[in-house]
């Protein structure tokens, strides 16, 4: 069984491109990850993700560029212990 983990991903200070959160959900669903992604009032995007660590790493790498139309300036990642907090991936 693969090792489980959790990560907090903060993108910004700006993320340009329509549909970033929806594309992140699609990618998370493909990787069987759970959590949530939301826009913050300061223009950043915040995602909490749980699942198999190797799959989380794939999503983290994807987030550096996002979908084709996106421009991501910065990606900050903070690994956390797995808590089983989520049952699906949601866009908030």
Question: Is 14 part of the annotated catalytic residue set?
Answer: no
Contact status, residue 51 vs residue 32, Cβ threshold 8 Å: yes
Q: How far apart are CA 77 and CA 22, in angstroms?
A: 19
Q: How far apart are CA 18 and CA 68, in angstroms?
A: 10
Question: Is 46 part of the annotated catalytic residue set?
Answer: no
Q: How far apart are CA 73 and CA 85, in angstroms?
A: 29
- Out of 14, 21, 38, 42, which one is annotated catalytic? 21
- Out of 39, 44, 46, 60, which one is annotated catalytic? 39
- Given CA atoms 20, 14, 80, 57 in this order, what sign does their dihedral have? positive
Active site amino acids: 21, 39
């Amino acid at each position: 069984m693969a090792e489980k983990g959790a990560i907090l991903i903060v993108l910004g200070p700006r993320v340009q491109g329509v549909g970033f959160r929806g594309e992140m959900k699609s990618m998370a669903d493909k990787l069987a990850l759970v959590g949530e992604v939301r826009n913050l009032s300061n223009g950043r995007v915040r995602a909490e993700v749980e699942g198999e660590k190797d799959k989380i790493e794939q999503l983290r790498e994807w987030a550096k560029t996002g979908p084709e139309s996106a421009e991501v300036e910065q990606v900050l990642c903070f690994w956390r212990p797995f808590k089983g907090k989520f049952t699906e991936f949601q866009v908030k």
